[in-house]
Amino acid sequence: MRFKHMLYYSLKVFISALVIVSVSEVAKRSSLFGALIASLPLTSLLAILWMYKDNVETKKIAQLSQSIFWFVLPSLAFFLAFPFLLTKGLSFWVSLGASATLTIVIYFVMLWILKAFNITIM
């Protein structure tokens, strides 16, 4: 039974990694198609599928989906800030760090807003 579990876990890791590598390889050839694939909620879909396959109760899957919605909104700030900073001449790493920091701050702002409106995410 342990071998079967490890094989299943390895399959999950392989498929998940394959999706990420595929996006980066497609993006090298076409930023349009790379962006299209990357904008799909592939990570979320994989997580939801793996949870369903693992017989996680649907209430937990629904909670994950709703939480993802609330956290996607602040993550959009990264995709505005990062290219803006790069085009203003900041280095890659400074732009990446500043954009990631901004996104983290906005995550906390989102949590505060949700709490203010009594919206709980699990």
pTM of the model: 0.72
- Could you give the CA distance from residue 112 to residue 115 in angstroms, rounded to a whole number? 5
Per-residue pLDDT tens listing for the chain (122 residues): 688 888 888 988 898 888 889 888 998 999 888 888 878 788 889 889 989 999 999 999 999 999 889 989 999 999 999 999 999 999 999 999 999 999 999 999 999 999 999 988 76
Domain boundaries, the chain: 1-40, 56-122
27 contact partners, CB below 8 Å, separation of at least 6: 33, 34, 35, 37, 38
The token duo for 41 is 């909620």
